[in-house]
Amino acid sequence: MARRQTLVQLSDELLAAIDQQAARTGRSRSEIIRTAVERHLRQILQADIDRAIVEGYTRFPQKEDAWAEAAARESIAEEPW
């Protein structure tokens, strides 16, 4: 995957924390920052998906289904929690 260099301004405290993490893990600043941004963007995407699911069920609520509810309860009861 092609990469592009970009300039990001960080506080001294944040940069020190990144450097400390880099030294502790043997990873580069770039890798730590890239991983953090990727994780953050995945979380935003997942939150958007969750909101869409909730919105869908709010607009079109699931109908009562006694058989499905009984099966779900039975499945949960079988779990070894």
Report d(CA 41, CA 34) in Å as an integer: 11
Name the residue range of residue 52's domain. 12-78
pLDDT for the residue 49? 96
Identify the burial level of 32 via C-beta atoms within 10 angstroms of its C-beta, where 0-12 means exposed, 13-18 middle and 19 or more buried.
Answer: middle
**Is 32 a member of any domain?**
yes
Residue 11 carries which DSSP code?
-
Q: Is residue 36 part of a domain?
A: yes
Least confident of 21-25, 28-32, 42-46, 68-72: 68-72
pTM for the whole structure: 0.68
Q: What is the mean pLDDT of the chain?
A: 94
Domain count, the chain: 1
Q: Is residue 27 part of a domain?
A: yes
Q: Is the pLDDT of residue 24 over 90?
A: yes
Whether 5 maps to a domain, the answer reads no
3: in domain: no
Tell me if 4 is assigned to some domain.
no
Q: Report the residue count for the chain.
A: 81
